[in-house]
């Protein structure tokens, strides 16, 4: 059994920390293969649990009095620094969603902001120099507030969702002009850009600010649009999906984790980071919540990356 | 300007011939970007016109009195041997179809079998030793009739469609037990196998006979399932699609054409054949009918194959 501090790809130096800001939540999830209540979720939580397999994680979020202390201990034991996690009076952010037979985009049945309603991320002094930053899917004004508190990171990646694209387009556009990489799915890319063609959509998004865009395509893999070219990777072949919740954040965690571990952001590194993101997402969807990711061994990740590499090898 | 006899990938010997049996048709096509009448089409025609860029083609099909002689001259001038093309009294096979806004699967509005109703492929003696064989999308009993007339080819690939899967499942199963490679789309694979998961579907189809399966996924590329592994290739990034008619046959033509040109069917060759199939299909969908493919230069094919190769390169 491996430990979180063991390097996935040994480098000449220890991995640099990744700062993540996002939600920590309790979710109710309905899928065609079962329903679960009070599943520990949220973008920062999914990201932190998965990225901690690659690099130290600095987490900024808020929980209420009802959030299980045990799970925070799990995160801390994996090397997630919780100095930026506030616990405040009230209930934790809650999301209730449902997946259809195709396990496509979730239908949101209910969102309770609870303690998130008055949340303003405060970045601890010790986190402000983080070289790698991931802005999880929260209000774009909160994402921008984070950028105003930190020093000059080497890479800022952000996620968003249809709700913010529709309701907070102007705030979102302001964030986009300050990030390096936007990670979204193809439906969101079309919605944000108002372009039908995926390639026109990516051009339009890059014109809004981010020099790089990753388009997540679920069972069809993911594409990285980079100034030096386009990289296209398939999904890990899976026969059964159990719960797609958190797959996007877990993808981002594998991607950013690999980058932090490698300590650079050149195009070749980002290609390998794509494979690690896809592989981490594949484990995420195989279990409810974080079941699979929390129990993951390094050799399982390496084996799937090797399989994926073989699937696109011309040799 | 290049000529059809110029090799795409120069080999030590001239390419071996490919035998294709299928339809030659006159189509009426409605798309969101325009409608065209009496477009020259049909699986054998689309395949022959495209495959002739790679290797000599031996075509077996039937046309009626109304089919334009000029188009047959075009095929002949590209090295398509029409000794197996019957011209009989009556009207040519006609198909009328419509594409929706997403350019997905066509909706068939009308099919007139006409001279195809009593067609029984007769393979000329000179064609019976063809090493490479493509059975276009026609009645499975006709596909089987072809196999009974030919010698031992090195590779037999076949296409089919939802109509035959639904109406002639038993006849189709008999053909499947005699072919090496089935080329279908993911919807057809699920329909044929009655499996929801694509990977379960492929396993079920391989258990029916073909040791190899290619799953065409349109804008998401294509996958080759081979006893030695799985190869996954993206689609050529296209901003505009004009007409998807014939894309599947043109894919098969690029694939089989590359194999015939290479003169072998090992896994590595088939991977490169996949890229050539995808590239040929990308040209097919950019124009109505065969507009693009008939005017294609070798360097355009090579440039797109190089682009596609770069898109999956980890270097």
What does the pLDDT average to over B229-233?
Answer: 98
Nearest by CB to residue A315, choosing from B233, B268, B310, is B268
- pLDDT of B12 above 50: no
Q: Which residues of B touch A198 (CB under 8 A)?
A: 219, 237
**What is the tens place of the pLDDT at every residue in B194-209?**
999 999 999 999 999 9
| Interface contact A231-B199, CB threshold 8 A | no
pLDDT for the residue A232? 98
Positive or negative: CA dihedral A37, A43, A45, A47: positive
By Cβ distance, the residue of B200, B237, B312 closest to A199 is B237
Tokens 């390998």 map to which residue?
A272
Mark yes or no for CB contact B234/A217 under 8 Å: no
B272 contacts on A by Cβ (under 8 Å):
314
Query: How much is the mean pLDDT over chain B?
Result: 93
Query: What is the distance in angstroms between the Cα of B106 and the nearest Cα belonging to chain A?
Result: 19
Identify the pLDDT of residue B190.
Answer: 96
H helix intervals, B160-264: 162-167, 169-176, 186-193, 198-207, 247-262
Taking contacts as CB-CB distances below 8 angstroms, the residues of chain A near B268 are 314-315
Is B221 in contact with A239 (Cβ distance < 8 A)? Answer: no
In chain A, which residues have their Cβ closer than 8 Å to the Cβ of B223?
234
Of A220, A230, A233, the CB nearest to B220: A220
315 residues of chain A, pLDDT tens digit each = 334 444 454 444 578 999 999 999 999 999 988 899 999 999 999 999 999 999 999 999 999 999 999 999 999 999 999 999 999 999 999 999 999 888 888 889 999 999 999 999 999 999 999 999 999 999 999 999 999 999 999 999 999 999 999 999 999 999 999 999 999 999 999 999 999 999 999 999 999 999 999 999 999 999 999 999 999 999 999 998 999 999 999 999 999 999 999 999 999 999 999 999 999 999 999 988 888 899 999 999 999 999 999 999 998
CATH for the stretch A18-311: 3.40.1190.20
Q: What pTM was computed for the model?
A: 0.93
- Compute the nearest-CA separation of A29 from chain B (Å): 22
Residues of B in contact with A217 (CB under 8 A): 220
Q: Do B223 and A234 touch (CB under 8 A)?
A: yes
| Residues in B touching A240 (Cβ below 8 Å) | 197
Which residues neighbour B216 within 8 Å (Cβ) at sequence distance 6 or greater? B183, B184, B185, B186, B222, B248, B251
Distance CA B315, CA B309 (A): 11
**How many contacts, defined by CB atoms under 8 Å, are there between A and B?**
64
**Which residues in chain A have their CB less than 8 angstroms from residue B221's CB?**
220, 232
Residue B242 · residue B285 · CB < 8 Å: yes
Cα distances (Å, whole numbers) of residue A95 to A141, A268, B112, B225: 20, 37, 54, 40
Task: Please give, rounded to a whole number of angstroms, the shortest distance from the CA of B154 to a CA of chain A.
Answer: 22
Contacts of A201 in chain B (CB under 8 A): none
Neighboring chain A residues of B310 at a CB cutoff of 8 Å: 229-230
Q: Report the residue of chain B nearest A241, measured CA to CA.
A: B197
Nearest-CA distance B264 → chain A (Å)? 15
- The greatest distance separating any two alpha carbons of chain A, rounded to the nearest whole angstrom, comes to 58
Choose, out of B203, B228, B312, B315, the residue to mutate when testing the contact with A (most A CBs < 10 Å).
B312
DSSP states along chain A: ---TTS-SS--SSPPPPEEEE---EEEEEEETTEEEEEEEE-HHHHHHHHHTTTS-EEEEEEE-TTS-HHHHHHHHHTTEEEEEEEE-SSPPEEEEEE--TT--SPEEEEEE-GGGGG------GGGTT-SEEEE-SS-HHHHHHHHHHS---SEEEEE--HHHHHH-HHHHHHHHTT-SEEEEEHHHHHHHHT-SSHHHHHHHHHHTS-SEEEEE-GGG-EEEEETTEEEEEPPPP-S-----TTHHHHHHHHHHHHHHHHT---HHHHHHHHHHHHHHHHHHHTSSTTHHHHT--HHHHHHHHHHHHHHT---
Cβ distance of B272 and A315 shorter than 8 Å: no
Q: Would you state the pLDDT for residue A13?
A: 58
Indicate yes or no: CB of B312 within 8 angstroms of CB of A268.
no
**Residues in chain A whose Cβ is within 8 Å of chain B:** 197-200, 217, 219-221, 223, 229-234, 237-240, 268, 271-272, 309-315
Of B200, B233, B272, the CB nearest to A239: B200
The minimum CA-CA distance between B87 and chain A, rounded to whole Å, is: 43
d(CA A51, CA A48): 5
Chain B residues contacting A via beta carbons under 8 Å:
197-200, 217, 219-221, 223, 229-234, 237-240, 268, 271-272, 309-315
**Averaged pLDDT for residues B263-282:** 97
């Amino acid at each position: 059994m491996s430990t979180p501090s063991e390097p996935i790809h040994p480098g000449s130096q220890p991995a640099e920390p990744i700062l993540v800001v996002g939600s920590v939540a309790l979710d109710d999830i309905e899928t065609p293969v079962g329903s679960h209540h009070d599943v520990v979720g949220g973008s920062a939580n999914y990201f932190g649990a998965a990225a901690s397999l690659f690099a130290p994680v600095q987490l900024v979020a808020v929980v209420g009095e009802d959030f299980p202390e045990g799970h925070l201990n799990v995160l801390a034991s994996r090397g997630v620094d919780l100095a930026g996690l506030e616990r405040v009076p009230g209930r934790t952010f809650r999301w209730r969603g449902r997946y259809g037979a195709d396990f496509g985009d979730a239908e949101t049945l209910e969102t309770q902001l609870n303690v998130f309603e008055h949340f303003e991320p405060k970045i601890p002094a010790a986190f402000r120099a983080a070289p790698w930053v991931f802005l999880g899917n929260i209000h774009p004004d909160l994402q921008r507030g984070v950028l105003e508190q930190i020093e000059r990171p080497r890479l800022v990646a952000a996620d968003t969702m249809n709700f913010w694209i529709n309701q907070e387009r102007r705030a979102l556009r302001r964030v986009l002009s300050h990030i390096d990489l936007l990670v979204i799915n193809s439906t969101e890319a079309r919605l944000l850009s108002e372009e039908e063609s995926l390639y026109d959509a990516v051009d339009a998004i890059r014109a809004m600010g981010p020099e790089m865009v990753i388009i997540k395509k679920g069972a069809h893999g993911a594409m990285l649009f980079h100034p030096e070219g386009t990289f296209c990777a398939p999904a890990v072949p899976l026969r059964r999906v159990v719960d797609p919740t958190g797959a996007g954040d877990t993808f981002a965690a594998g991607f950013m984790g690999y980058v932090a571990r490698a300590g650079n952001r050149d195009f070749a590194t980002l290609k390998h980071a794509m494979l690690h993101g896809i592989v981490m997402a594949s484990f995420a969807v195989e279990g409810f919540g974080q079941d699979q990711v929390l129990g993951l061994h390094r050799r399982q990740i390496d084996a799937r990356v090797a399989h994926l590499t073989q699937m696109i090898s011309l040799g």
